[in-house]
């Protein structure tokens, strides 16, 4: 049954990683024929989807799946999924995961599932797979009389071995997977006559999956799937993208994204960068003015305020350069704390406030423990109205994220608080809070406004990021050694760049700027940049350019190491990473 590995497949989501959201599968070692990757649930994008989707590209045949929430408008769910997929719909049809009533009547679940499938088909031309179990199809979808189900292919979830006792269960699953024991595809319930895919166990051993994460925090069991046919049949059935591509949306302004009908900006700040909260001593100042006065890299508005006796005071905790200028915490509001030696914390614990060098308060939690807060689905005006927004969040690797959303204009409607949470989750938020918004929202970079504020409003404080966290005279160099003769130096950090010079094997080169590729890029000649490629800026033979350390997953050089210690300083030492959007980030060497 399983001698052809092309018939084996896995389905994964944010839960398939150790210490979420740090790791997923090692897709370059994944050797099975296909993979279904969770894209969304309701209108929330899976936090690991973008990374897994990109890393799996070209390494296996991909299908995106949507976990159905009947409490969510199905058309909005389809719209969100397709917007996020953009023009890359994968190589397999998308799948609708039907297994949860979501607190809704069965008739509502059935009708809204049908609406989701019809809307997806209308917008893409693709008949999505239906993922479900015989019991859900019988009791909820009423498959016996719902003949319309037969219009869609089936991904059947049915586990013949999962109720066995251990160790017999694990032994049997391993034998089936390795072909020692044979198994026959189950007959699908009417009106289906064939199931192209069968999820045959949810108790697979991760060690049997090539490239599956096996470190601390790993899952103890994984979902395993079979394709109902041969390799040749698979290629005939899914040899090309079954639904073509969607029209590419207009490219948003440089450095921005477009979400929910609004222009948005997302910025990341490394733990090594100097982050400061302004204290205006009872005054007010616009974001642009503060940015220009302090010569900042990034400046955004902070907390809301009240005016008392001609003095403007932040509503909740505020601290600048180690000194409180608002020591009262209002209504247990959460706050962002900046540590004296770098790094960030979001908490509502007033007792911890003395730990931080700078503090700016938010209004409420939007995200905690990687999940959107349930109260954001409320019907009060504060939850349903769309406005300009400013928000702060932390990722699992300790970075600070800043989100700014335009609104109240002809080009940007603004977003609800729930939609603001979705944007943060899309970018890996573990914890997130909203700051002052509305007419206060503004983002300045390098002395110029980046967004289009709905007002020119002076505010009570600002979150400031300074450009270069390194102290005077600090220099950190790195070196690596070429592996092969003719190792090239290019004018760009990818193989589309022009060759400036080349060096023989065992040449030691040095530099202090490292480029880390975060997206895959192709042209008519093929892929010239892979996710994870790393290039060091070097000077050799009188030419300054970029030499690959890792390219297309393969080592081009070896023995990458730091060779120069920084001058003594109270701040840590750093590595500069340059990203595709032109931004840079400094990383603590210990990270």
The pLDDT score that the predictor gives to residue 17 is 53
**pLDDT per position as a tens digit, 129-139:** 999 999 999 99
- Between CA 162 and CA 171 the distance in angstroms is 11
Give residue 5's pLDDT band: very low, low, confident or very high (50, 70, 90).
Answer: low
Q: Kindly report the pTM of this predicted structure.
A: 0.45
- What's the pLDDT score for residue 186? 92
Residue with the larger pLDDT of the pair 537 and 118: 118
Q: What mean pLDDT is predicted for residues 541-568?
A: 76
Q: What pLDDT score was predicted for residue 518?
A: 52
- Residue 581 is predicted with a pLDDT of 46
pLDDT tens digit sequence for 221-279: 889 999 998 777 787 677 543 333 333 333 233 346 888 888 899 888 877 788 999 99
Bigger pLDDT: 553 or 101? 101
Chain mean pLDDT for the chain: 82
Report, in angstroms and rounded to the nearest whole number, the Rg of the chain calculated over CA atoms: 26
Buried b (16+ CB within 10 A) or exposed e, 51-78: bbbbbbbebbbbbbbbbbbbebebbebb
Read off the pLDDT of each residue in 86-108 and give the average, rounded to a whole number.
90
Provide the 8-state DSSP code for 100. Answer: -
List, for residues 377-386, the tens digit of each pLDDT value.
888 888 899 9
Q: According to the model, what pLDDT value does residue 94 have? A: 94
Would you say residue 1 has pLDDT above 70?
no
Say whether 256 sits in a helix, a strand or coil.
coil
Average pLDDT of span 144-166: 92
How far is C-alpha 81 from the chain's CA centre?
Answer: 14
Residue 178: predicted pLDDT: 82
pLDDT band for position 341 (cuts 50, 70, 90): confident
> What confidence score (pLDDT) does residue 574 get?
42
pLDDT digits (tens, 9 = 90+) for 20-78: 444 567 887 888 889 999 999 998 888 778 778 888 887 888 999 999 999 999 999 99
Tokens 């590729």 map to which residue?
A: 517
pLDDT at 149 exceeding the cut of 90:
yes
For residue 368, what are the CA distances in angstroms to 304, 314, 347? Answer: 22, 24, 10
Helix (H/G/I), strand (E/B), else coil: 97 = strand
* Cα 126 from Cα 147, distance rounded (Å): 19
* pLDDT given at position 216: 63
What confidence tier does 517 reach under pLDDT thresholds 50, 70, 90? low
Q: What is the pLDDT of residue 113?
A: 96
Residue 46: the pLDDT is 84
pLDDT in tens, 480-513: 999 999 999 998 888 888 899 999 999 999 887 7
Q: Following CA atoms 246, 250, 256, 261 in sequence, which dihedral angle do they give, to the nearest 10 degrees? A: -80
Angstrom distances, CA of residue 408 to CA of 194, 386, 405, 415, 453: 51, 8, 10, 10, 9
**Hey, which residues does 513 pair with through a beta bridge?**
576
Say whether the peptide bond before residue 542 is cis (omega within 30 degrees of 0): no
DSSP assignment string, 31-93: -SSEEEEEEEETTEE-TTHHHHHHHHTTTSEEEEEEE--TTS-HHHHHHHHHHHHTT---SSP
Question: Among 59-63, 347-351, 527-531, whose mean pLDDT is lowest?
Answer: 527-531
- Which CATH number does 5-238 carry? 3.20.20.80
Pairing mode, if any, of strands 499-503 and 462-465?
Answer: unpaired
Residue of 48, 62, 47 lying closest to 11 (CA atoms): 62
Instruction: Tell me whether residue 13 is exposed, middle or buried, using C-beta atoms within 10 angstroms of its C-beta: 0 to 12, 13 to 18, 19 or more.
Output: buried
For the chain, the domains span: 5-238, 257-465, 478-588
pLDDT greater than 70 at residue 336? yes
Cα 313 to chain centroid distance, Å, stands at 36
* DSSP secondary structure, 108-166, as one string: HHHHHHHHHHHHHHHHHS--PEEEE-HHHHHHTS-TTT-GGGGGS-EEEE--SSTTSPT
């Amino acid at each position: 049954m399983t001698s052809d590995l092309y018939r084996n497949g896995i389905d994964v989501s944010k839960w398939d990683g150790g210490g979420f959201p740090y790791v997923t599968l090692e897709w370059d070692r994944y050797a099975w024929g296909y993979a279904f990757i969770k894209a969304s649930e309701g209108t929330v994008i899976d936090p690991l989807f973008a990374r897994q989707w990109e890393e799996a590209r070209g390494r296996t045949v991909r299908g995106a799946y949507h976990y159905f929430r009947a409490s969510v408008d199905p058309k909005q769910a389809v719209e969100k999924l397709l917007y996020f997929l953009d023009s890359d719909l994968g190589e397999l049809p998308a799948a609708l995961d039907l297994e949860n009533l979501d607190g809704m009547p069965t008739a509502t679940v059935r009708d809204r599932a049908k609406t989701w499938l019809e809307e997806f088909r209308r917008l893409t031309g693709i008949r999505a797979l239906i993922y479900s179990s015989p019991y859900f199809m019988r009791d909820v979808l009423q498959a016996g009389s719902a003949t319309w189900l037969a219009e869609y292919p089936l991904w059947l979830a049915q586990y013949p071995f999962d109720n066995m006792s251990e160790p017999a269960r694990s032994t049997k699953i391993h034998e089936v997977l390795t072909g020692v024991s044979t198994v026959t595809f189950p007959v699908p319930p009417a009106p289906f006559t064939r199931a192209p895919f069968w999820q045959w166990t949810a108790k697979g051993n991760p060690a049997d999956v090539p490239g599956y994460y096996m470190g601390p925090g790993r899952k103890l069991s994984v979902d395993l799937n079979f394709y109902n046919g041969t390799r040749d049949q698979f290629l005939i059935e899914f040899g090309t993208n079954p639904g073509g591509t969607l029209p590419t949306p207009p490219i948003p302004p440089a450095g921005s994204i477009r979400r929910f009908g609004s222009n948005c900006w997302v910025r990341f700040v490394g733990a090594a960068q100097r982050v400061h909260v302004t204290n205006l001593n009872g005054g007010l100042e616009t974001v642009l003015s503060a940015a220009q006065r302090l010569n900042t890299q990034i400046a955004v508005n902070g907390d809301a305020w009240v005016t008392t006796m001609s003095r403007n005071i932040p509503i909740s905790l505020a601290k600048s350069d180690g000194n409180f200028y608002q020591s009262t915490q209002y209504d247990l509001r959460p706050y962002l704390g900046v540590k004296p030696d770098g790094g960030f914390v979001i908490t509502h614990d007033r007792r911890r406030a003395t730990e931080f060098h700078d503090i700016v308060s938010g209004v409420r939690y939007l995200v905690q423990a990687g999940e959107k807060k349930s109260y954001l689905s409320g019907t009060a005006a504060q939850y349903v109205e769309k406005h300009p927004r400013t928000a702060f969040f932390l990722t699992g690797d300790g970075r600070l994220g800043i989100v700014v959303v335009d609104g109240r204009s002809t080009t940007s409607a603004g977003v609800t608080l729930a939609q603001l949470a979705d944007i943060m989750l899309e970018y890996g938020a573990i914890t997130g809070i909203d700051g002052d918004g509305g007419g206060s929202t503004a983002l300045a970079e390098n002395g110029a406004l980046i967004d289009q504020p709905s007002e020119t409003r002076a505010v009570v404080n600002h979150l400031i990021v300074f450009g270069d966290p390194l102290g005077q005279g600090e220099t950190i160099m790195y070196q690596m050694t070429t592996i092969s003769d003719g190792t090239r130096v290019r004018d760009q950090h990818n193989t589309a760049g022009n060759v400036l010079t080349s060096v023989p094997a065992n040449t030691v080169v040095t530099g202090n700027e490292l480029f880390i590729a975060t997206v895959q890029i192709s042209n008519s000649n093929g892929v010239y940049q892979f996710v994870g490629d790393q290039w060091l800026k070097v000077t050799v033979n009188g030419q300054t350019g970029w030499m690959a350390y890792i390219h297309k997953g393969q080592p081009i050089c070896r023995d990458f190491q730091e060779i120069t210690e920084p001058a003594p300083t109270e701040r840590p030492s750093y590595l500069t990473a340059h990203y595709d959007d032109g931004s840079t980030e400094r990383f603590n060497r210990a990270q």
